[in-house]
Structure formats: C-alpha cells, structure tokens
C-alpha cells in the first residue's frame, strides 16, 4: 500500500463520524483474543505443575519404600552404590507410577502421561529421573482443539551426608 492509502485508512479510523468505532472494536477484539490465550496458557501451566508435584511425591514415596525394604543400604556407607540394583529401581519407579510396560497413565485433570522412561541417578546420591510427555487436552467453549504435548522431567533422589 502507498503512504497515501495508509493515511486515508488511519484518518478514517480516527475520525469522529462514527467509523472510528471500527478501530475501537478491532482493539477490543484483539485484547479479548490475547486474554483468552493467556487464560489457556496459565491453565495448561497449572496442569503441568500439579502433575510434576504429584509425580515427584510418588517418586519420593517409592524411594522411601525402597530404602525401608533395603534397610541395609543405610548401614554399609561407601559400599551402598554397589549394592543398589539400578534396573530394579528404574522398573519399580515406573511400576509405582502405573506406567510400566509403556502404559499410558491418565491423570485426574484429563491429561495423559505417555512415553514414560526412567534413568538411574548416581554419584554422591542415588535416585530416579523420570521423563515423559504430558498430553493436555485443549478445549474452548466446549470445542476440542486436540492435545498439547509438553515434555516433563521429574527427579527424586536421596543424598547421603558424610
């Protein structure tokens, strides 16, 4: 568009003859769309944080249970890391979450945990890091728009003080 055409459009949008209401309506519609996207984003973030907290608590409970079942781990000091079965720890964490054998887990918010994997954490600590994809259903005014995929990592560990 030329400068002359742009001036004509902006002048007509700013005029006080009634056509300026179009500009006001456009601004209000843009603000409403922005607010609805912001609302959608914050609700998705809330679902992800709630899920991470829940999974973290489950993993902490599993590690506590593992420590109680293998109480001799706390007695042996430096030898502890050679006595931990990392495969058992990883499989047990996934089973405790309900995601063993590649199962999908549906949460109370309607989100689905998919592709759950666990890895063993070692060093001056031991624990489990779980990675999964959280599929959050996106809907607005009763219409479903599909699912949003959010990669999530949760870590639970035990650190021994010397």
Most confident by average pLDDT, 7-16, 64-73, 136-145: 136-145
Task: Kindly report the backbone phi and psi dihedral angles of residue 145, in degrees, each rounded to the nearest multiple of 5, phi listed first.
Answer: -110, 20
The token pair that represents 24 in the structure block: 């006001």
Give me the pLDDT at residue 112, please: 86
- The residue to which tokens 């047990």 are assigned: 92
Terminal-residue alpha carbon distance, the chain: 73
Please say whether the beta carbons of 98 and 92 come within 8 A. Answer: no
| Digit-coded pLDDT (tens) for 98-143 | 877 778 888 888 888 888 888 888 777 778 899 999 998 887 777 8
Crossing angle of helices 3-14 and 20-69, rounded to 10°: 90
Please say whether the beta carbons of 116 and 93 come within 8 A. Answer: no
| Digit-coded pLDDT (tens) for 22-37 | 777 888 899 999 998 8
The token pair that represents 157 in the structure block: 């560990």
Predicted confidence band of residue 14 (pLDDT cuts 50, 70, 90): low
Round to whole Å and give the CA distance between 135 and 146: 9
Give me the pLDDT at residue 3, please: 82
Round to whole Å and give the CA distance between 62 and 39: 35
């Amino acid at each position: 568009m030329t400068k002359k055409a742009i001036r004509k459009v902006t002048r007509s949008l700013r005029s006080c003859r009634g056509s300026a209401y179009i500009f006001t309506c456009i601004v209000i519609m843009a603000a409403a769309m922005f607010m609805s996207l912001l609302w959608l984003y914050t609700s998705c973030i809330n679902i992800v944080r709630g899920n991470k907290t829940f999974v973290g608590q489950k993993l902490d409970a599993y590690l506590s249970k593992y420590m109680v079942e293998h109480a001799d781990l706390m007695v042996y000091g430096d030898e502890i890391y050679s006595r931990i079965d990392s495969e058992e720890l990883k499989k047990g964490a996934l089973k405790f979450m309900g995601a063993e054998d590649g199962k999908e887990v549906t949460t109370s918010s309607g989100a689905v945990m998919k592709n759950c994997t666990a890895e063993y954490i070692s060093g001056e600590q031991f624990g489990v890091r779980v990675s999964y994809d959280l599929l959050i259903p996106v809907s607005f005014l009763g219409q479903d728009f599909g699912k949003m995929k959010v990669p999530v990592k949760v870590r639970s560990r035990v650190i021994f003080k010397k």
